[in-house]
Amino acid sequence: MDITTLLILALIGLAAGVFGGMVGLGGGVIMIPAMVYFLGIGQTSAQGTSLAVMLPPVGLFAVMNYYKAGQLNLKYAAIIAVTFLIGGYFGSKIALNIPISVLRRIFAIALILIAANMMMKK
């Protein structure tokens, strides 16, 4: 794994952690699109990897199915998981120290931008 890929994985984990900690966005909204667009991995592989990041609390059996189908990148999942923890910590600190109106706007803008991007892509 090269340094660029490592940095992209770390940034995905941090962004997902910060947004997860701030407004509850993380796996499906941040990690999956970021892995598809910035790392060029397939949608199902991104989904399997995202689930592996959240494996303990969410989907052990779903991850097993993706793993059996060869659609899981364990190295990527591990790096994103560690940085997700760090980002989640800082994101929650930010969310608890800004006005709720600002937090709602951040959440709404993130959803609008993601939806617009998805609608424009074929």
- How many distinct structural domains can be found in the chain? 1
**Residue 25, by phi and psi: left (phi above 0), alpha (psi -120 to 50) or beta?**
beta
Q: Tens digit of pLDDT for each residue in 51-105?
A: 788 766 556 777 788 899 999 999 998 999 899 889 988 988 888 888 888 888 8
Note the pLDDT of residue 27: 67
Instruction: Give the percent of the chain with pLDDT over 90.
Output: 25
Query: pTM for the whole thing?
Result: 0.64
In angstroms, the CA 91 to CA 35 distance is 20
Note the pLDDT of residue 59: 64
The boundaries of the domain holding residue 95 are 3-120
For helices 3-23 and 100-120, what crossing angle results, to 10°?
Answer: 130
**Mean per-residue pLDDT for 13-31?**
78
38 or 27, which is more confident: 38
95 or 3, which is more confident: 3
